[in-house]
Amino acid sequence: MTEPILSGHQLTRRFPRRSHPALDGVDISVRPGVSLGIVGESGAGKSTLLRLLLGVDRPSSGEVRFAGQPLDRVRPREFRRQVQVVFQDPRSSLNPRMSVASIVGEPLRSLRIGADRAARAERVAEVLTAVGLRPQDGRRYPHEFSGGQRQRIAIARALAPAPRVLLADEPVSALDVSVRLQVIDLLSDLVDRLGLTLVLVSHDLAIVSQLCQEVLVMRHGRVVERGPTADVLTRPVDEYTRTLLAAIPQLPTDLLEEQ
């Protein structure tokens, strides 16, 4: 079996003045080239788990590994180059005082990627094109774009250093419904075209079903179900998973018959 690119073993995270741990003995394994969805309601521990996988927080117990190595033994710069993140709200994740080109090129500068300024500018133009924007859009500022376009900018920034793993924390929940499908389609296309490993955090199983081959269902800081997405969606074992599936909006029967 292929060694996981990113994994966690018995991850527990406790916070002061909280009676229950945010994470309680969670195991997670992300194989290269596989898209994994982490689902659950608010407070399930999804974002806490994502922070541990990103290395921006440390577990109270347990261990995170990247490419088989404990995270504390991996060079921080190399890890940041290989693992990038897209956050929930592009309004807060993009610096309004920076041009789009500067925002997208920031990882290249901080990670010292690219032979010179011209090479970095070429890479910025390349990833802007990859997410459906124009290279000349790099001269503009975040406030000049729609919410969906700002999330495309955030995705371009994450892609700039050519990572192996893309972590996405509720990447479409802050967008209008009409824009969500466009961003979901973009992520799906990028994952396939670039061979990315995707870890997607969401409260919405419908979104996970469109993007992820495998799913991990969390409740109260624990994993209650995991497996291939198709199996979990069609033959859920845990009652909580069945509850999440029941919450997915369904079209009225008469409307389906008309179509």
The reported pLDDT for the residue numbered 250 is 57
> Widest CA span of the chain, in angstroms?
61
Residue 249: pLDDT band by 50, 70, 90 thresholds?
low
Mean pLDDT of 217-236: 94
CA distance 230 to 212: 10
* DSSP at 171: T
Mean pLDDT of 225-252: 85
Mean pLDDT of 174-202: 90
Q: Could you tell me the pTM of the whole model? A: 0.91
pLDDT tens column, 20-63:
899 999 999 999 999 999 999 888 999 999 999 999 999 999 99
Residue 255 has pLDDT above 50, yes or no: no
- Give a yes or no: residue 94 inside a domain: no
The reported pLDDT for the residue numbered 150 is 94
Q: Domain range holding 222? A: 6-89+165-258
Residue partners of 66: CB distance under 8 A and separation at least 6: 5, 6, 74, 79, 82, 83
- Give a yes or no: residue 187 inside a domain: yes
Average pLDDT, the chain: 91
- Give a yes or no: residue 154 inside a domain: no
Residue 254 has pLDDT above 60, yes or no: no
Q: Per the structure, how many domains does the chain have?
A: 1
Residue 215 has pLDDT above 70, yes or no: yes
Residue 147 has pLDDT above 70, yes or no: yes
Residue 190 has pLDDT above 80, yes or no: yes
Residue 258 has pLDDT above 50, yes or no: no
Residue 206: pLDDT band by 50, 70, 90 thresholds?
confident
What are the CA-CA distances from residue 109 to residues 6, 101, 124, 128, 172 (Å)?
Answer: 25, 12, 11, 17, 27
Mean pLDDT of 89-94: 83
Question: What CATH number is given to the structural domain containing 206?
Answer: 3.40.50.300
- Give a yes or no: residue 59 inside a domain: yes
